[in-house]
């Protein structure tokens, strides 16, 4: 790293409280300070190019310089650069985006509420459920069910929903946030247990938790169709088909957190379509604007939309909103992003390249120190293990996945360490040649790091 006091790395160090950053890596290597992007590549202040196999933070699905999205943003900045959505006033773009979101949703009718982030969208959904149950005379219906390894954000409520051990340093979760077992068959399945039996066990656990807590104390169940920040974990076979009837029986809404899986990542517009279930509401963010504007959205399906609307009518308002909810520039970009993904070939490219992506993961998983490859569409992970047969992880002090990611960075590839997995989530515009580059560089990094730690 460049240690000169006026280097970009030193300047970044001087004033940053780095979030979600492995500090030993930063101390050794310095921050990567970027100036711009070119397609799926980003370029740093030294002119080095990196293929961003993370799509930024899962979200830059159209790459980093998409001309149509930039033009949509510029045009809207020229026309009407900012407004809110309070007091019955909102931009025309906001109206059009809500129409579009309901049209592309799995719902025949619905209502939309805008936020600035995925965390806020999950917070908002929790408040909607608390508001709804309170208005319906069941204010004690407040508990929220999620799963270990689920990631739902960082605000006090969405962090409480997130099932990660690091929450304890904040004294979270809040009371009433309950985490069920992560439905990861490879890691959580018991010796001799079939995948079908494992799924049945997950469903039974849900029944047991509802019986223990009391259905009348539970506000909702939130789940990512494929867990993202938990390490790209697709559910065990039949998982959603097993749990949804139980939730329905107890009147517990199923909320799909589609912040990563929404708008094409798994090969359908929604991850819930890929896994063949219809949730009661959808949480969207990230890809909704292809990462070109901070935005989140809660999309309520017909039943929740009607009940929440009735609850609001009863007190003559829904007292919630953010200054930038339904921002006109964000909405104009989102309208364009949806068109780009759905009508300009990006979703087609996800589908076309998924077999190549899976083949690349499968090939690298032949490495004796890769225990499992997993994924759906263009999101995938390779899980590093010390011993493939026993699935024994490496000593966490070895920071194996961080070392792999750092070696990739040296080679001009950005990928993300999550636990002992390395995650790939390339932009939808990636070409086959760029995918070859991605797997080639990751393969080199695996060989180097496993030789060091073996």
Other Cβ atoms closer than 10 A to 208: 11
Q: Phi then psi for 35, rounded to 5 degrees?
A: -110, -35
Cα separations in angstroms, 148 against 60, 160, 177, 178, 265: 26, 11, 11, 9, 22
**In angstroms, rounded to a whole number, what is the distance separating the alpha carbons of residues 332 and 12?**
33
Query: Does the protein bind ligand PLP through residue 256 (CB under 6 A)?
Result: no
Nearer of residues 40 and 118 to ligand PLP, judged by Cβ: 118
Q: Which of 8, 83, 114, 151 binds ligand PLP (CB under 6 A)?
A: 151
Q: Which of 228, 328, 330, 371 binds ligand PLP (CB under 6 A)?
A: 228
Instruction: Spell out, one character per residue from 68 to 107, where the chain touches ligand PLP: x when CB under 6 A holds, - when not.
Output: ----------------------------------------
Place of tokens 């609001």: 312
Nearer of residues 72 and 154 to ligand PLP, judged by Cβ: 154
| Binding span for ligand PLP by CB under 6 A among 83-91, 232-240, 252-260, 432-440 | 252-260
Radius of gyration of the chain (CA): 22
Q: Which of residues 111-130 bind ligand PLP (CB under 6 A)?
A: 117-119, 122
Shortest gap between Cβ of 402 and ligand PLP (angstroms)?
A: 19
**In angstroms, rounded to a whole number, what is the distance separating the alpha carbons of residues 388 and 370?**
7
Total chain residues near ligand PLP (CB under 6 A): 14
Question: Are the C-beta atoms of residues 312 and 264 closer than 8 Å to each other?
Answer: no
Instruction: Spell out, one character per residue from 207 to 226, where the chain touches ligand PLP: x when CB under 6 A holds, - when not.
Output: -----------------x--
Instruction: Spell out, one character per residue from 154 to 193, where the chain touches ligand PLP: x when CB under 6 A holds, - when not.
Output: ----------------------------------------
| Residue closest to 430 by CA, chosen among 364, 350, 339, 351 | 350
Nearer of residues 124 and 285 to ligand PLP, judged by Cβ: 285
Question: Checking DSSP bridges between strand 49-52 and strand 177-180, what pairing results, if any?
Answer: unpaired
Write out the two tokens for 133. Answer: 């149950």
Helix (H, G, I), strand (E, B) or coil at 18: coil
| Binding span for ligand PLP by CB under 6 A among 146-154, 167-175, 208-216, 372-380 | 146-154
| Residue closest to 300 by CA, chosen among 320, 284, 322, 316 | 284
Q: Answer whether the bond into residue 168 is a cis peptide, omega within 30°.
A: no
Nearer of residues 233 and 260 to ligand PLP, judged by Cβ: 260
Footprint of ligand PLP on this chain (CB under 6 A)? 117-119, 122, 151-153, 224, 228-229, 257, 259-260, 285
């Amino acid at each position: 790293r460049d240690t000169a006091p006026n280097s970009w790395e030193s300047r970044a160090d001087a004033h940053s409280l780095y979030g979600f950053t492995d500090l030993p890596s930063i101390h050794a290597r310095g921050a990567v300070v970027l100036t711009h992007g070119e397609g799926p590549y980003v370029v740093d202040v030294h002119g080095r190019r990196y293929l961003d196999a993370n799509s930024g933070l899962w979200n830059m699905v159209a790459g980093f310089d998409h001309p149509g999205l930039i033009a949509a943003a510029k045009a809207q900045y020229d026309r009407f650069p900012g407004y809110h959505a309070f007091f019955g006033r909102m931009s025309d773009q906001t109206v059009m985006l809500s129409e579009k979101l309901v049209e592309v949703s799995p719902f025949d009718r619905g209502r939309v509420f805008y936020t600035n982030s995925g965390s806020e969208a999950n917070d908002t959904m929790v408040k909607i459920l608390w508001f709804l149950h309170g208005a319906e005379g069941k204010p004690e219906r407040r508990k929220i069910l999620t799963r270990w390894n689920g990631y739902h954000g960082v605000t006090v409520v969405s962090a409480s929903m997130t099932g990660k051990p690091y929450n304890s340093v904040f004294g979270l979760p809040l009371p009433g946030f309950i985490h069920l077992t992560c439905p990861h068959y490879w890691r959580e399945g018991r010796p001799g247990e079939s995948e079908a039996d494992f799924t049945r066990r997950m469903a039974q656990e849900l029944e047991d938790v509802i019986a223990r807590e009391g259905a009348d104390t539970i506000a909702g169940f939130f789940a990512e169709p494929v867990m993202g920040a938990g390490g790209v974990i697709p559910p065990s076979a039949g998982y959603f088909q097993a749990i949804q009837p139980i939730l329905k029986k107890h009147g517990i809404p199923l909320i799909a957190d589609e912040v990563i899986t929404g708008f094409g990542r798994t090969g359908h517009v929604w991850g819930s379509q890929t896994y063949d279930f219809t949730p009661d509401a959808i949480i969207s963010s990230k890809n909704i604007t292809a990462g070109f504007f901070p935005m989140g959205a809660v999309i309520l399906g017909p039943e929740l939309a009607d009940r929440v609307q009735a609850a609001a009518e009863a007190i003559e308002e829904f007292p919630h909103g953010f200054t930038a909810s339904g921002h006109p520039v964000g909405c104009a970009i989102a309208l364009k992003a949806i068109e780009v993904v759905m009508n300009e070939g990006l979703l087609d490219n996800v589908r076309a390249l998924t077999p190549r992506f899976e083949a690349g993961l499968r090939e690298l998983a032949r490495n004796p120190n890769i225990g499992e490859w997993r994924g759906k569409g263009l999101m995938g992970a390779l899980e590093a293990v010390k011993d493939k047969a026993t699935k024994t992880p490496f000593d966490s002090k070895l920071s194996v996945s961080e070392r792999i990611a750092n070696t990739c960075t040296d080679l001009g590839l950005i990928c993300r360490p999550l636990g002992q997995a390395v995650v790939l989530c390339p932009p939808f515009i990636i070409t086959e040649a760029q995918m070859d580059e991605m797997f080639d560089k990751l393969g080199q990094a695996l060989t180097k790091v496993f030789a060091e730690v073996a």
